[in-house]
Amino acid sequence: MNEEEIFLPLIGDPAPEFKAKTTHGMVNFPKDYQGKWVILFSHPADFTPVCTTEFVAFQNKYDEFQKLNTELIGLSIDQVFSHIKWVEWIKEKLNVEIKFPIIADHGEVGALYGMIHPTKGSSTVRAVFLIDPKGIVRTMIYYPPELGRNFDELLRMVKAIQISDEHKVAMPADWPNNTSLDLKDRVIVPPASDVKTAKDRLAKAKAGEFECFDWWLCHKKL
């Protein structure tokens, strides 16, 4: 095997299991988070400028994530003592208390989740994994070290997938503010997969159940 090969879970796969030390004690992942949505994310290093802005941003939105039954858990290849001192620095200098755990990885978890990209060095890149209450990977996003994440987008991602699961719908581009088709916060009805459903789709649209541009592109208000 080439040592630079990257293996990572795919969307729909069970989240790889691991045990690790964190700033809140040992974690058995994803078992300890059964019944919760989780954002597992990595950052390149403690005591770095962009990562500090990200941790403050995550904490500022922590309550919003928790309202969505979503927990946060960070990770980098730093010792737990470094994590603790960095969290203390953020509290002392920026008056922000980081309330979620940070994993002290030695590279094992980073390798399991494909968080280490050799052309970007030996640190973890800015990876994001959304894992559902059954421990299934639902979303993966990778950012290079030089680009900080958009936290409104991460919240949108959680909300959209939860709504999709509950209502069996999909979201248009830029939901809930779609402008490309002027759908705004409307959702997409799954496309018909047979002739009968396609005909029924237009009939239901005429009855006002939802609106269609055509049988394969229908939308509705939740």
Residue position matching structure tokens 């939740």: 222
Paired tokens of 201? 């789709």
Please name the helix (run of DSSP H) or strand (run of DSSP E) that holds residue 67, with its range, or none. Answer: helix 62-67
Cis bond upstream, residue 144 (ω within 30): no
Instruction: Count Cα atoms within 13 angstroms, Cβ side, for 39.
Output: 31
Q: Is 218 in the active site?
A: no
Catalytic option among 51, 77, 125, 205:
51
Q: How many CA atoms lie within 13 A of 3 on its CB side?
A: 2
CB 169 within 8 A of CB 190: yes
Q: Which residues are catalytically annotated? A: 51
